[in-house]
Structure 1
Amino acid sequence: MNSATAEPEIVYQSFVDTMPEGALVIDPETRIVYCNGSFSGLFLTVPDNLIGVCLADLVGPEDRKQLYRLLETAELLHFTKGHVTLMCPAAPVLTCMSCAVLPGVSPPVFGVVLSPAAALFESQTLAAAILDQATEAIVLCDHSGRVTHANLAAHRLAGRDPCSMPFNEAFPLKRRVIGFRGPTECSEIEERLLFSQLSAGRIVRGIHACLALAHRHVILLLSAGPIGNGTDKSFGTVVTLTDITRQTEVESALRASENRYSQVVQQAAEGICLLDPTGEILDANPSLGLLLGRRAEDLVGRRIRDVDFLSQLEPDRARLQEEAERQTVIGERCLNWEDGTPRFIEGSAKIMPNGTLLLIIRDITERRLLEKEIAEITRREERRIGRDLYDLLAQQLAGVGFLTKVLEQKLQARGLEESQDAHRIGELVREAVKQTRDLAEGLCPIEFNADGLTSALKELCNSSEKHSGIRCRFTVSGSPVFADAASEAQLYLIARELVRASVSLADANHLTVRLEGGDRTTQLVIEHDGTLRGIETPLKIVRYRASLIAADLSVRREAQFLQVRCTLRQEKSGAKTPVSS
């Protein structure tokens, strides 16, 4: 060997001897022909002492077959990789083995590089610990379907140690599939889930199966995939079994609840719709479509302001946002139908937690008409009783008063002391006549006042100021108009209720009642400098009376005055105009 050839060999020999990995050359019988110091150091000796020793004798018994398979593969492919465990004196060492056939040597020899895989071993240990902590059952199987590894969740699911058992024996799974009983008839049948359906060499997900245990049935969600090292070769199959029994029960209960509520909404007599924050209709029930004379499906996707009739019900979201934390906002409006006829609509709106708006609409026209008819019957009865009191009872009492006066005069002429008793009886009769007439005017105040509502309100203010000592002023402006006597009567009752509440409950010192006539509107305004507290119940009564005549009622505070305004909208044609005072 000349110096030109020897120098690279010396350099290469020095490089191999200083490698941190164990490097060796072995023959087909695994006898060591050469090894470096890193390899001999694992066995606490020098390289010369390992020459002629079989590498197969230095690895674990379970790794010898693996070693020979690696050599066979290297002889075919000229290179291979794998893992073997060296039985070192201190402790077994897992190593990564790279093996190649050295060219130009006969008989063939193999160059082997062994790197200690402590980090790999630690990662495998960590991976096993993580698998044991997983809530899902994870099972590793070989090509034959035999379980090679199972985590703790898999042990609990199987109720035993499933390792070394066939997968289908350890986990006898069943699933439901659609089967055909005839050409047109199909039904759901139950069949066994075989391991071959999971080990098809590809990843499968979302397989639902059932496992019958001793005390209950478990519903599982399965996923499976091949185990590989990045090559096309598969070493087995990993199967993940997730217990979704509780989740399935919750979903079933949720679907049943949704179905029940959906049926309630669909069968409800009220019109129900759900709006997004922009006012677009997300859902509507058939009753709403029937109320509007349309199909519910045609309303979905449209904005509420673009739908005739519904546009008049567009809710005030600012007001709803303020009151959403406390209560559901309920309001009532009189709206015009497409043919111009008025309809009484009661609506309730509530902002849901997700920001959508639930709107419920009820057509209460028939109820309001019935209530108005009842109120009209009550008013007629009050008028009849008032007339009877005024025309009959008061007149009879007046006659008794005259007779008593005549009796008093006769007794005085005779000089009898009983004339004083007759005088006293006459005073009581005259007081009874006055009380009877006051009672009659209270039952029908407008009828017994020459100027109708105007005179009745003025008399109400004068009477309240006289009895309470609180200044009560009445003014009238414009030309108030009324379609019927019922509207006049209800406005008077509204004013009387509010005046009495302001005087007795609101601690007011000044009270003003205004009757204002405008273009197709008549407004009754009551202002006082008291508080709102204490008159909540009277306001409820007033709101009800206002709804009977389709009037709008608003309550607000202006400066130091609390103002209640009742607005009556109506056509002037055929209306009665009270005389202004």
Structure 2
Amino acid sequence: MTDAEIIEGLRQEISMVKAAYNELLNDERRKMLMLDDVPLGEIVLDPDSRMIGVNKGFEEFLGYSREEFLSMRFHDLLAEGVDIHESIFPVFKRTGIVKNITWKMKKKNGDVITVLLYGRAVYDADGNFAQARGIILNITDRVNADEALKKSEQEKALILDVMSDCIIYYDTDMRVIWANRVASKLSGIPVENIAGKYCYEICHKEKGFCRGCPVGHPMMSKEPQSGEVRAAGMVFHILTHPVLSEKGDFVGLVQVIRDITEQKMLERQILEMLSNERKKIGNDLHDGLGQVLTGISFLATALQQELKHKLPSESSSASDIVEYTKKALNMMRSVINGLCPVSEDEQGLMSALENMASGVEKIYGIKCGYVCRKPVIIADYEVCNHLYFIAHEAMTNAVKHSGCSQINIFITKNFDQLRLEISDNGVGMADCRKSLNGQGLRIMKYRASIIGADIDIINNISGGTSVIATMKVPHGEESDEQ
């Protein structure tokens, strides 16, 4: 090959190198123009971490001009972490890549922004570090939003943790998503382990929902529900609120549980005090006023007999005294019966219910049957008293609202299960659940809750309504099967 051919070959190679270099410059310009139009910053650093190139996006991030940047080193822009940069930059020059490093940077006006850096090293033909190129994303808004959300979550957790009520958030499968510390204390499950548990694992530690639990209804009706549940010798008031999506779909449930055991004990004590006061008033009337009226009746009767022989014209006045005294005694007995309808003997409840049935038939002309196939003995007088008044309220509702011609009272006890039912053949109720919101029925529910009984209202298949009270009674008392 001649010298001329060699020179021509070199000229062609030089031309190709220049063309490739120009193409690289054009690519760099196109890339810089493209990055200038997107919210990303690009920086180029020399081996001493001096700024040797920035795009418009990075200028807008921090508010400096390109000329001002080119007089700075990277750590001059940091609001914190200068020592970290000094320690990792030499490592970066060897490894050649950094990903997702977060920096706090100072803007020209003194504000601080948070950025995310992704960088790569560029090496020369000999493998020596030449420069660093980095893409920077301003994540200040996202970080601020995350911090605000985290603060809100912490405040929410603090508020809910200091509440005395147990608060739990469930998913659609009734597994715990979140619970406060009271829920942890109630269940005995550590806070960090409570997520994923079913509600019945927290409350009564059994498999499946407990009878009468107000959790199931809101899942179907998408309406709040409340009720009382007894478990492990304790009484809880449970309020459940369904959580709905924007489309109205059920997505979860918030449950508020309050321990009302002590409250129920105090309420029962107050009712017992009132009952004892009623009995005292009744006894005072019987032993005091009753004896006086009885004495007057005997004296008036004796006077009537004496005047009948001596002054016949005056005996009628004595007869009137006898008659009015008897009426006063009857009125007093009615008052005593109203104060203490259930006697304290073991047959007290059965006698009181039977008297109620006969009284309804006499007063209202409605047939009223009383069915008690075997003796029902309950030692607790207050339980008997509350059961009587539950039956009385159910009877009153039937007489006033059902339009019935027949009412029946049934009472049975099988081992530790007692059942009291008041059934009529009236018009029935359109919605038995909503009917529980009436004043009289709320009173029945309240009395039932005091003694640990459940109240159900059902429409009879043959027509009419049944109010049913069921409860457990101590094993030591007699049962129908003995």
1:118-171 Cα deviation digits (max 9, x unpaired): xx99x976x76764553x3423436484464533x5443333543673274799
Task: Say if 2:421 is the partner of 1:522.
Answer: no
User: Secondary structure of the residue that 1:446 maps to in structure 2?
Assistant: coil
SS of the aligned residue for 1:477 comes to coil
CA distance in 2, matches of 1:141, 1:236: 7
Residues 98-127 of structure 1, C-alpha deviation per residue, up to 9 Å, x if partnerless?
xxxxxxxxxxxxxxxxxxx9xx99x976x7
Aligned pair partner of 2:55 in 142, 150, 162 = 150
Distance in 1 separating the partners of 2:363 and 2:170 = 53
Equivalent of residue 372 in structure 2, options 445, 458, 476: 476
Deviations 1:298-355 (A, max 9, x none): 77777677789511784566435125x32154332153xxxxxx44454555566695
Task: Classify the secondary structure of the residue corresponding to 1:311.
Answer: coil
Q: Secondary structure, in 3 states, of the residue corresponding to 1:259?
A: helix
Cα separation, partners in 2 of 1:313 and 1:366, compared to 1, 3 Å: farther
For residue 553 of structure 1, the aligned residue among 443, 449, 455 is: 455
Aligned with residue 432 of structure 1, among 328, 332, 357: 328
Q: Aligned in 2, Cα 1:450/1:192: closer, same or farther, shift over 3 Å?
A: closer
Contact 1:513 1:525 in 2 (8 A): yes
1:164 and 1:568, CA in 2 relative to 1: closer, same or farther beyond 3 A?
A: closer
The 3 A distance-change label for structure 1 pair 370 and 242 is same
Paired letter, 1:162? R
CA deviations on 1:337-376 (whole Å, 9 max, x unpaired) are xxxxx44454555566695666665554444333333322
Other-structure match for 1:538: 440
**Structure 1 unaligned regions, length at least 5:** 1-25, 33-69, 85-95, 98-116, 178-189, 336-341
Q: 2:226 aligned with 1:321, yes or no?
A: no
Task: Give me the CA root mean square deviation.
Answer: 5.0
Query: RCO higher in 1 or 2 (8 Å CA, sep ≥ 6)?
Result: 2
Task: State yes or no: 1:563 paired with 2:466.
Answer: yes
Distance 2:322 2:422 in 1: 41
The match for 1:243 is 138
**Bigger strand share:** 1
**Which of 270-279 and 462-471 deviates more?**
270-279
Q: Which amino acid aligns with 2:229?
A: E
Are the equivalent residues in 1 in contact too, given 2:350–2:376 (CA < 8 A)? no
Aligned positions of 1:335-414 closer than 5 A: 335=232, 342-348=233-239, 363-400=259-296, 406=303, 413=311
Contact 2:186 2:202 in 1 (8 A): no
What is aligned with 1:485?
381
Distance 1:575 1:486, change over 3 A: farther
TM-score (norm 1): 0.61
Distance 1:488 1:226, change over 3 A: same
Q: Distance in 1 between matches of 2:83 and 2:405?
A: 87
- Going from structure 1 to structure 2, the CA distance change for 1:157 and 1:451 (only over 3 Å counts) comes to same
Give distance in 1, aligned partners of 2:264 and 2:336.
Answer: 28
CA-CA distance at 1:463 after TM superposition? 3.0
* In structure 2, C-alpha distance between the alignment counterparts of 1:372 and 1:243, rounded to whole Å: 65
- After superposition, residues 77-476 of structure 1 pair within 5 angstroms as 81-82=19-20, 84=22, 131-134=35-38, 136-141=39-44, 143=46, 145-146=50-51, 148=53, 150-151=55-56, 153-159=57-63, 161-162=65-66, 165-166=69-70, 168=72, 172-177=76-81, 197=89, 200=93, 201-212=96-107, 214=109, 216-225=111-120, 238-263=133-158, 309-311=204-206, 314=209, 318-323=216-221, 325-335=222-232, 342-348=233-239, 363-400=259-296, 406=303, 413=311, 415=313, 429-447=325-343, 451-476=347-372
Query: For 2:341, what is the secondary structure of its paired residue?
Result: coil
**Partner Cα separation in structure 2 for residue 166 and residue 226 of structure 1:** 19
Cα deviation, 1:384-403, whole Å, max 9, x if unaligned, reads 11122233223434444566
Alignment check: 8 A CA contact 1:502 1:535 kept: no
Secondary structure of 1:434's partner? helix
Q: Point out the more displaced range, 288-297 or 377-386.
A: 288-297
Q: Does the Cα contact within 8 Å between 1:282 and 1:301 map onto a contact in 2? A: yes
Secondary structure at the counterpart of residue 272 of structure 2: helix
Contact 1:526/1:564 (8 A) holds in 2: yes
Alignment CA distance shift 1:306-1:547 (3 Å): closer
| Corresponding residue for residue 400 of structure 2 | 504
CA contact (8 A) 1:483 1:570 kept: no
Which residue, out of 404, 409, 417, partners 1:513? 409
Paired with 1:469 and 1:235, the residues of 2 have a C-alpha distance of 110
In 2, the alpha carbon distance for the partners of 1:433 and 1:310 equals 57
Flag the structure with larger Rg: 1
TM-aligned CA distance change 1:327 to 1:451, over 3 Å: same
Flag the 1:161–1:388 CA change in 2: closer, same or farther, 3 A: same
Contact 1:172 1:192 in 2 (8 A): no
Which has the higher mean CA deviation after the structures are superposed, 452-461 or 394-403?
394-403
* Amino acid in structure 2 at the alignment position of 1:71: I
TM-score when scaled to structure 2? 0.72
1:150 corresponds to which letter in structure 2?
N
CA distance in structure 2 between the aligned counterparts of 1:462 and 1:215, rounded to whole angstroms: 92
Aligned length: 452
- Partner SS state of residue 412, structure 2: strand
SS of residue paired to 2:452:
coil
SS class of match (1:524): strand
Tell me which amino acid in the other structure corresponds to 1:562. Answer: T
Residue 50 of structure 1 corresponds to: none
Secondary structure (helix, strand or coil) at the match of 2:456 reads strand
Amino acid at match of 2:224: Q
Q: Helix, strand or coil: the match of 2:206?
A: helix
Distance 1:137 1:397 in 2: 104
Distance 1:215 1:289, change over 3 A: closer
1:411-448 per-position Cα deviation (integer Å, ceiling 9, x unaligned): 994758x967x877766554433222111101111218
- Look up the SS of the partner of 2:372 in the other structure: strand
Structure-2 change in CA distance of 1:344 and 1:453 (3 Å):
same
Taking structure 1 as reference, are residues 194 and 413 closer, same or farther at Cα in structure 2, changes over 3 Å only?
A: same
Report the Cα distance in structure 2 between the residues aligned to 1:320 and 1:466, rounded to whole angstroms: 45
Deviation at 1:495, TM superposition (A): 0.9
- Specify whether residues 483 and 216 from structure 1 end up closer, same or farther in structure 2 by C-alpha distance, changes over 3 A only: farther
Distance 1:296 1:478, change over 3 A: farther
Answer whether contact 2:373 2:412 (CA < 8 A) is retained: yes
Provide Cα deviations, 1:45-88, integer angstroms capped at 9, x if missing partner: xxxxxxxxxxxxxxxxxxxxxxxxx828x5xxxx675264xxxx
Deviations 1:172-193 (A, max 9, x none): 532544xxxxxxxxxxxx7696
What CA deviation, in whole Å up to 9, does each residue of 1:442-487 have, x standing for no partner? 1111218994222212322333344445554432234423132221
Q: 1:478 to 1:541 in 2, by over 3 A?
A: same
Deviation at 1:382, TM superposition (A): 1.1
Tell me which amino acid in the other structure corresponds to 2:99. Answer: V
Shift of 1:205: 1.8
Secondary structure of 2:100's aligned partner = strand
3-state secondary structure, aligned to 2:69: coil
